Amino acid sequence: MAPPRPPLPTVLSVLLLLLLAAGSAGGVEILAKSLLESCVADSGAGGRLSCDRKNGGEAWLVAQVAHVNDTKQSKTIRNPPVITVNKGAVFALYALNYIRDVAYKPEEQYVETRKCEPDAGSDVVRACERLRYENGSIIEHSEPVCCPCGPNRRVPSSCGNVFEKIFKGKANTAHCLRFPGDWFHVFGIGTRSLGFNIRVQVKKGSSVSEVVVGPENRTVVSKDNFLRVNLIGDFGGYTSIPAFEDFYLVTPRKSAGSGEPQNLGAEYRKWMLLERVRFTDGVECNKIGVGYEAFQNQPNFCASPFESCLNNQLWTFLESDKNRISMSRQPQYVVQGRFQRINQHPDASVHSFSIGVTEVINSNLRIELSADDIEYMYQSFTAQVASVLWSMLLVNVANIRSICNQSSTISSNRMKRVPVYFTCTHLQIKQQSINVQLF
């Protein structure tokens, strides 16, 4: 009698370390792969592969579960399941918090006039007339600042002769802050998180089971309960993943109105990351977001240089980077040219910002397959033909003999139940009309 067939395990477990060195281990045979490696075969070193890591996006791995080891023996699987693992590109994902809109290039405007007063109308100070909201109320600090004429003033101007002073009034200049042109949204940047998806597909015969796991959904079971995948962890140096808690992200305003945008657009050549200390809430000069109050209250206004309050604005940094790019240098502030795969993460929106991770991040997966429908092949067993449909006997015996090492003599007595014993090398027997029982 053959030894009793050992019980099948309820679950097959496969542990894969995605994106590590290739090769087969245990019962997993690597059929194909796309690793983040660049390898060269060195004939002088016995054909050994010399591999260098390279930056990349997606990676995939196709493996076949050929056999399973347990505490008793090795079991070869009939119709081995083929596992395909596809890891999408890895992103660093940052939460965005809308703060406000700021002018791209604030301008100081001036008018050479006479009889300048803060409440003067447009007939005297023209574009520097104080501004009003839509409801008619005056915008505070938007009125002009009046400076006397002279060669050493904020804007050098002629004072004219005595008769002009008498008949036309004293010459002076009216100065005001205005915001023509483009505006940008300003966003605070939260802590980073990794974002990626790993798709695991198992083909067993004609059936296909599939799940998708990621940092936000680490354990998933397929609909048919055949496949269970657990993302155990990720391993990497994380040296190329920046933190932006001390920066603001600025993007061009797409619509006419101000306020939180519904669409950030894709003008990445104008998206900039700038330190928070470069911004103001409107009360400081020479910072992004300068307002009417800071402009009016700067000390020694009329003796200071023209546009003395308007340095270090958004246009300054963008133009600086344009010059660097024209000289084939990496930009300092613009995101395009500094980072890869900008905002290509599926969850990127007006509330988040993503960049591609360029270093290799290894993912450790545990893949479990239900063994209920998996058939094993054993090294040896004995089959006894308990009953024979005589018309097919010769054909069936020939089939069995073709895959078995030994066979007993078969009686030609049609009326007898003839036991026939075989010692075979694998489980699959073409039974046809023969009833086979395993002992």
> Whole-angstrom Cα distance, residue 346 to residue 354?
9
Question: Which residues, other chains included, contact 386 with Cβ-Cβ below 8 Å and sequence gap of 6+?
Answer: 417, 419, 435, 436, 437
The rounded distance, in Å, linking the Cα atoms of 402 and 212 is 45
Alpha helices in 132-194 (DSSP H): 162-168
Q: What is the pLDDT of residue 142?
A: 96
Q: Which residues make Cβ contacts (< 8 Å) with residue 388, sequence separation at least 6?
A: 396, 417, 418, 420, 434
| Residue at 81: amino acid letter | P
For 54, 123, 242, 354, 358, the CA distances from 39, given in Å and listed in that order, are 10, 77, 29, 30, 18
The Cα 295–Cα 179 span in angstroms is 12
- What is the reported pLDDT for 46? 55
**Residues 6+ positions from 399 with CB-CB distance below 8 Å:** 429, 430, 432
User: Which residue, chain included where needed, has tokens 């993912």?
Assistant: 363
The pair phi, psi for residue 376, each rounded to 5°, is -110, 155
Structure tokens at 101: 């809109």
Residues contacting 326, CB < 8 A, separation 6+? none
Q: Report how far residue 424's alpha carbon sits from residue 402's, in angstroms, rounded to the nearest whole number.
A: 10
Q: What is the mean pLDDT of each run of 10 residues along the chain (439 residues)?
A: 43 48 40 44 51 52 58 63 85 94 97 91 94 94 93 84 68 94 95 88 88 91 91 75 93 85 91 98 96 95 95 98 96 95 83 87 82 56 42 37 39 40 34 28
Are residues 343 and 249 in contact, defined by beta-carbon separation less than 8 angstroms?
A: no
pLDDT value at residue 392:
35
Task: State the Cα–Cα distance between residues 164 and 97, nearest whole angstrom.
Answer: 57
Cβ-based neighbour number of residue 302 at 10 Å: 16
**DSSP helix/strand/coil, 33:** strand
Contact call for residues 211 and 229 (beta carbons, < 8 A):
yes
All residues at 6 or more sequence positions from 317 whose CB lies less than 8 Å from its CB, including other chains: 272, 274, 332, 333
pLDDT of res. 420 = 40
Cα–Cα distance list, 207 to 50, 181, 203, 224, 391 (Å): 39, 60, 6, 10, 36
Cα(59)–Cα(21) distance, integer angstroms = 13
